[in-house]
Structures are given as C-alpha cells and as structure tokens.
Amino acid sequence: MTISPGEDRRVVAVQGLGFVGAAMAIAAASAVNDDGEPAFTVIGVDRDDALGRARVDALNSGRFPFETTDRQLTHALAAARERGNLQAGVDPAAYGLADTIVIDVPLDIDWRSETPELRLAGFEAAIRTVGEWVRPGALVIVETTVPPGTTQRIVVPLLEDCLRDRGLDPGSVLVAHSYERVMPGADYLDSIVNYWRVYAGHTDDAAKAAEKFLSTVINVDDFPISRLSNTTASETAKVLENTFRATTIALMDEWSQFAEMAGVDLFEVVDAIRMRPTHANMRTPGFGVGGYCLTKDPLFGWLAAKVLFDQPVEFPFARAAVRTNDAAPLRVIELTTELLGGSLAGRHILLLGVSYRQDVGDTRYSPAETFARAAIGAGARLTAHDPLMDHWEELGCRVATELPSADDVDAVVLAVPHSGYRDIDVLTWFDRNQPAVIDAWDVWTAEQRRLASSLGCRVTSIGRGIHPRNGKS
Ligand SMILES: NC(=O)c1ccc[n+]([C@@H]2O[C@H](COP(=O)([O-])OP(=O)(O)OC[C@H]3O[C@@H](n4cnc5c(N)ncnc54)[C@H](O)[C@@H]3O)[C@@H](O)[C@H]2O)c1
C-alpha cells in the first residue's frame, strides 16, 4: 500500500476495520471543516491476515465489508473513495503518519466459560503496534469496550514503554477514551455522527484534543458530547450502559415465564406501564441477547475489579443476566418441543432470522445459533432463512435469502424481527400446510398471528401468555 496523506489535511488512522472501525473510518472521512472541506485523510488499518485483508480490499474497492441496509453509509463510502480521502491497508507504518489514531480492535472475554477471563493479549499487541509507530504529539483514542481502568493501567503504560524504547519522551502522546454506541442496522452511520458521545482524557490536554476531534466527526450541536473526569469513568459508562440493558432484558425473561404460565400478555402489560414516564423505556420480552457486546460487556466490571484493581466486587446481577440471556433461546426449544408433541426428532423447523438483531447481518453469538444447535442436537431438520446473508458462518450451512415454502414444515420459529417478516402474506404462505408458529421476538403483527390461527396453526409467542401450558394456544 502506498500511504499518501492529503497535503493539508490532518491524518486519522483507524486500527481495526470491523463493524465499528470500518464505519468509524467512513464517518471520519465524511467529516468537514468549518469551510465545508473534508477535515481528514483517513487510513484504515487491519491485520495482515485473510480476514484483515478481506476488509481492507472491500473498503479499497468501495464496498462496505459487511451486509448493511444503511444506504447513507454506503453512499458516504463511495463519496470518500471518489474524493480520495479514505484508504485502507495492513501496513502499521500508517500510525506513524497519523495525528489521531482511533483504536477499534476487540478485547474479548470467554464469557460462556465457567470461569470467564479477560483475553488481553490481542488488545495489548494492538496497542504495542501503535506504540512502535505513533508520533509524539499524536492523539490516541481508545474506542474499544474495555474493563474500566484499562486506559490508565494498560494502554498508557504500554505506550509509555514503547516511546521510551524508541528514545522518545514517554509522556509525549495524548491518550483518551471515548466509547462507540454504533448500531449496525438501518441507521448505522447516523449512530456514529448523529448520536451523543461520552469521552475523557488521560490528561487535560488529551481531553481537549479528543473533544476537538469528536466535535469534527460528530454533529455536536444536536448531539452534545459529555466529558467525564477520567478515562476509568468513561470506560465505566460504556460497561454500565450495556450491563443495564442486558440486565433489564434478563429481568423480562423471568416475567415472560410467569406471563406464559399465568395467561398474561406481557406486551400489553408493558405498554400500560410505559405510560408512566419514569418507566417509558421498559423492555419487552424476546429471544435473549446476542451480538458481540451485550453478551460479554456485563462481565467487564467484575473482571476489572478482579484483574485490574485486585479488589473483587461480585456483581451478582450482571453475571446472572449473562447466564439468563444466554439460556433464553432454550425456552423457545422447550416451547417448540411442547407444540410438536414432546419431541423434535425428525421434525422440520423453519427458522426465520439468524442474525442477532433486526436488519443486521451479524451472526456473532446470535440467540438463533443457540436455538439451532439445540434443535439439531434434538434430531430436528432445520432450514434457516435470513434476508441479509446466504451463509451462516458459525453453523457452516447455507441460509435461504428467499422465503422458503412452508409446505413440509412442522414449525416456524420467528427469531429476529427483520422488517420484511411483517410483510409475509400468511394466508398464501400457509395455504397448503398449517405448521406450529412460535414468535420468539414479537416479530409478527397481531393480524398475522390471528390469520395463522384462523387457518388452524397453533400459534404461540414468548411473553404473550398464549402458551400450551395454560390451554390458550
Ligand atoms: N459491533 C458493535 O456493534 C459494537 C458497538 C459498540 C462497541 N463495540 C466494541 O467495539 C470494539 C470492536 O468491535 P467490532 O464489532 O468492530 O469487532 P470486529 O471483530 O468486527 O472487528 C475488529 C477488527 O479488528 C481487527 N484487529 C484485531 N487486532 C488488530 C490489530 N492488532 N491491528 C489491526 N487490526 C486488528 C480485526 O482483524 C477485525 O477486523 C469491541 O470492543 C466491541 O465491543 C462494538
């Protein structure tokens, strides 16, 4: 790769071109100065391996590396390529050209293990690479979701060591933390540029530099950014934000079980409670939690206390939420088994939706995967459909992108509320066969469920109290 930054533009390097970094690189390349001119030349950098090169090649050929329904994002990428202020590569020398380096690499937890641990090695290696190239005076912004304390206790010392090894002033780099709230989906780009941000600097100068950078990329007039006192507070904000969400989702799981048993429609209950302004954002029942963030992030507080501070705090709610949400799809297995007379062996299940979220082509830790593995393990034949992908990486199987016939299907499981599923013409689709229908995530409208029932399908929903156990299906 030839790295040729614009003559008078500041240079931004984005480390890690995944779901976050690829979109952040486009957001930065779309940023303009007060005079309306592009503010930055952006260089996206990934690892020199098959995955990294595929993401680099995609961006360099004007393709977003992931399926997306956000036309604004794909147009912004095309415009940046046309202007020539966005390029990608695998050469870490790019960090040496940058005024600002944005860290968007993962920091994993083996969250399904009995004894979950932080997997710090990859993240630390990424920071070291930056330390080997970063210029004195540059700003490094950590966007990765990390255990609170990481910037102060891991990132800054690693960068200082690297600078010292290079014979440079160890304090000459500005370090900040500002977490991403990006939501891959229909408003992917907007969820970066038209969305509120939190940030903090390791020093006052770092905070000021981060504010300047973020104010150029983000529409801060309409979406003000919040500065916190230190980077550990900013890291805590991200982790608490996601823990709050995961915990409230888990809470609804136990109330769903109660509602299904007691013949109560929990959606109706939540709608009524939401009239009270203090409870307006109450969650509704669903299929569990998937994706790369809500599955692991609630464990970061617990692991930070243990590993970074060596002062354990037990976090019982957060840890229970992770387990509850992970097990939620297995309740759908139980329901499906009951509707099919006590066994899934030899039965044909059509799974509608395999990603973890509506209108997103990301299958990482999707509840559908847990469901599919359990169904196949119980002897079912599974057909998977998803409008956003034709291959399911985790299961290594084909995914239908066109809605399959329901003629030889025993049960349809509605697993993801992709927008197209609300357009299914139930009367035509179930004309010749009336399978059981399990709506696991409030996917269908009341009318679609009513029509399926009227044809003779046994229809049930997570959280709706129309459950075989109370005789209302
Ligand atoms: N996916 C989301 O919706 C989302 C939202 C908010 C925050 N986050 C957080 O953002 C971070 C990144 O998540 P993601 O979903 O983009 O992950 P991802 O796995 O999609 O992408 C990470 C990328 O980093 C690259 N990478 C790893 N080590 C590298 C290195 N040393 N040098 C250069 N590239 C390297 C990988 O090859 C990969 O392309 C995580 O901390 C995640 O929790 C994700």
Mutate which of 1, 17, 20 for ligand 1 pocket (most atoms within 8 A of beta carbon): 20
Q: What is the distance in A from the centroid of ligand 1 to the CA of 301?
A: 20
- Give, for all 473 residues of the chain, the pLDDT tens digit: 455 544 568 999 999 999 999 999 999 999 999 999 999 999 999 999 999 999 999 999 999 999 898 999 999 999 999 999 999 999 999 999 999 999 999 999 999 999 999 999 999 999 999 999 999 999 999 999 999 999 999 999 999 999 999 999 999 999 999 999 999 988 999 999 999 999 999 999 999 999 999 999 999 999 999 999 999 999 999 999 999 999 999 999 999 999 999 999 999 999 999 999 999 999 999 999 999 999 999 999 999 999 999 999 999 999 999 999 999 999 999 999 999 999 999 999 999 999 999 988 899 999 999 999 999 999 999 999 999 999 999 999 999 999 999 999 999 999 999 989 999 999 999 999 999 999 999 999 999 999 999 999 999 999 998 654 555 54
pLDDT at position 472, please? 53
| Centroid of ligand 1 to alpha carbon of 15 (angstroms) | 9
User: If DSSP codes are grouped into helix, strand and coil, which group holds residue 51?
Assistant: helix
Give the pLDDT confidence score for residue 2 in this predicted structure: 53
The alpha carbon of residue 24 and the mean position of all alpha carbons in its chain are separated, in whole angstroms, by 14
Q: Which residue has the tokens 């790019």?
A: 94
Residue 425 CA to chain centroid, in angstroms?
30
Q: In whole angstroms, what is the distance from residue 29 CA to residue 12 CA?
A: 9
Residue 359 has what pLDDT? 87
19 CA to centre of ligand 1 in angstroms? 7
Give the mutation target among 15, 17, 19 for probing the ligand 1 site: most ligand atoms within 8 A of CB: 19
pLDDT tens per residue across span 182-214 = 999 889 999 999 999 999 999 999 999 999 999
Q: b/e string for 210-227 if b means 16 or more Cβ within 10 A?
A: bbebbebbbeeeeeebeb
Model pTM above 0.85: yes
What is the rounded distance in angstroms from the CA atom of residue 287 to the CA atom of residue 249?
10
Of all protein residues, the one whose alpha carbon is nearest to atom 21 of ligand 1 is 18
Between β-strands 108-109 and 118-119, what pairing exists: parallel, antiparallel or unpaired?
Answer: antiparallel
pLDDT recorded at residue 1: 45
Sign of the CA dihedral 258, 262, 267, 270? negative
Q: Measured between alpha carbons, how far is 149 from 152 in angstroms, rounded to an integer?
A: 6
Pocket of ligand 1, beta carbon within 6 A: 15-21, 45-47, 51-52, 55, 104-107, 122, 125-126, 129, 144-145, 180, 182, 184, 292-293
Q: Do the beta carbons of residue 103 and residue 144 sit within 8 Å?
A: yes
Cβ atoms 305, 343 nearer than 8 A: no
pLDDT in tens, 105-134: 999 999 999 999 999 999 999 999 999 999
Task: Give which of 104, 91, 71, 79 is closest to 133, Cα–Cα.
Answer: 91
Q: What is the pLDDT of residue 296?
A: 96
Residue 126 and residue 101: Cα distance in Å, rounded? 12
Q: Ligand 1 center to residue 306 CA distance, Å? A: 24
